[in-house]
Amino acid sequence: MNAPKAPVAANQGAPPGPAPTESKESKKTVHEAFLKKHLQFRDGEDINYKAKELFVIIREMKDLVSAEKSLLEVPAPCVIVGDIHGQYEDLHRMFIMTGRNGRSGATMRRYLFLGDYVDRGPHSLECVCCLFAYKLAFPRMFNLLRGNHEAAFINKNYGFYQELKDRFDEPQALLLWKMFNDVFDYLPLAALVHGKILCMHGGIGPRLNTLDDIRNIKRPIKNMDESELACDLLWADPVIDLSGYVRNSVRGVSVCFGEDTVLRLCNNLKLDMIVRAHQMMMNGFGFFCKRKLVTVFSAPRYDPDKVI
């Protein structure tokens, strides 16, 4: 089942070429300065980003995530975070909640983010830049998966591109949007926590039989028709009282899967459970299939009809 292809943006020039060779100390200084911008939340304030600094950070992130596997192996314990959708205040609140004594957990915990960092909320740029900053500073502690909104054909229409146009002149906004999506195309698609918990943004599909099926997915993925399994990992949904797989008519992409598919996959792969995001949960989480699957959603007061 194929997803729509990403639109081809007008040619506004290629992204900046490789930077001159930098020392580790120089890169560390750049990363620390960028991270410092995200250590505190100032209510309602946009962070003042310069396009030039974002070019450097995006290029560094592309180098980092393109070297990662399609299936991450993440040790326990870790904090698993669902959709964020541009809600920067809530991202910081989550860091405080997972910290100690009022201190942010960002420097003391391991995190696994399940995607959908951008769109709909007012601060997509802050959210994705904050996570990029922490990933560059603590690459083994911050694990970022791809969500279905980390795709050009989605985030051009649901808020992220418009936010960039509101904050930069149009040629710069277009270039930044293309560069961010170049990174998104390389993001890992799933993670295995403690060898027992399989995590992804969307769900499972008929082409997922072994963990090597995920490991063997080639990235970057620009169009969902490049990999049906990747599409399912980003887009699939569980449905109560369903047996097997059926076309996901609500999304128009991927499949819906039943409880029997979850039980069979957990048994075959010796998994304790599956953790995914992708659907709004009023309490922040919801169980499925006798607690063999849980949906995690980390954007409180989320408005699915809102496009910023």
pLDDT digits (tens, 9 = 90+) for 18-45: 544 556 666 778 889 999 999 877 777 8
Model confidence at 7, in pLDDT bands (50, 70, 90)?
A: very low
94 domain residue, yes or no = yes
pLDDT digits (tens, 9 = 90+) for 53-79: 999 999 999 999 999 999 999 999 999
228 domain residue, yes or no = yes
Selected residue with higher pLDDT from 30 and 49:
49
Q: Read off the pTM.
A: 0.90
201 is catalytic: no
**Whether the predicted pLDDT of 233 surpasses 60:** yes
- Measured distance CA(150)–CA(147) in Å, rounded: 5
196 domain residue, yes or no = yes
Domain range for 182: 24-41+54-296
- Measured distance CA(165)–CA(172) in Å, rounded: 8
3-class SS letters over the chain: CCCCCCCCCCCCCCCCCCCCCCCHHHHHHHHHHHHHCCCCCCCCCCCCCCHHHHHHHHHHHHHHHHCCCCEEEECCCCEEECECCCCHHHHHHHHHHCCECCECHHHCCCEEECCCCCCCCCCHHHHHHHHHHHHHHCCCCEEECCCCCCCHHHHCCCCHHHHHHHHCCHHHHHHHHHHHHHHHCCCCCEEEECCCEEEECCCCCCCCCCHHHHHCCCCCCCCHHHCHHHHHHHHCEECCCCCCEEECCCCCCCEEECHHHHHHHHHHCCCCEEEECCCCCCCCEEEECCCCEEEEECCCCCCCCCCC
Task: Calculate the average pLDDT of the chain.
Answer: 91
- Measured distance CA(134)–CA(263) in Å, rounded: 35
- Measured distance CA(168)–CA(162) in Å, rounded: 10
Query: What's the maximum distance between 2 C-alpha atoms anywhere in the chain?
Result: 57
Task: Considering the candidates 85, 92, 123, 149, report the single residue annotated as catalytic.
Answer: 149
306 domain residue, yes or no = no
Query: What is the domain count for the chain?
Result: 1
Model confidence at 5, in pLDDT bands (50, 70, 90)?
A: very low
Residue 145's closest CA among 135, 157, 130, 137? 135
pLDDT digits (tens, 9 = 90+) for 202-215: 999 999 999 999 99
Cα dihedral sign, 230-70-56-111: positive
5 domain residue, yes or no = no
- Measured distance CA(194)–CA(106) in Å, rounded: 20
pLDDT digits (tens, 9 = 90+) for 174-193: 999 999 999 999 999 999 99
Selected residue with higher pLDDT from 243 and 12:
243
**286: Cα separation from own chain's centroid:** 19
CATH of the domain at 97: 3.60.21.10
222 domain residue, yes or no = yes
pLDDT for the residue 110: 98
6 domain residue, yes or no = no
- Measured distance CA(161)–CA(18) in Å, rounded: 24
pLDDT for the residue 27: 76
**Whether the predicted pLDDT of 150 surpasses 70:** yes
pLDDT for the residue 13: 46
Residue 112's closest CA among 193, 214, 176, 14? 193
Q: Check if the beta carbon of residue 253 is closer than 8 Å to that of residue 275.
A: no
**Whether the predicted pLDDT of 16 surpasses 60:** no
Pick the range with the lowest mean pLDDT from 25-29, 147-151, 198-202, 223-227: 25-29
The set of residues, in sequence order, having a beta carbon less than 8 Å from that of 293 and lying 6+ positions away, is 238, 262, 273, 274, 275, 276, 287
pLDDT for the residue 102: 81
48 domain residue, yes or no = no
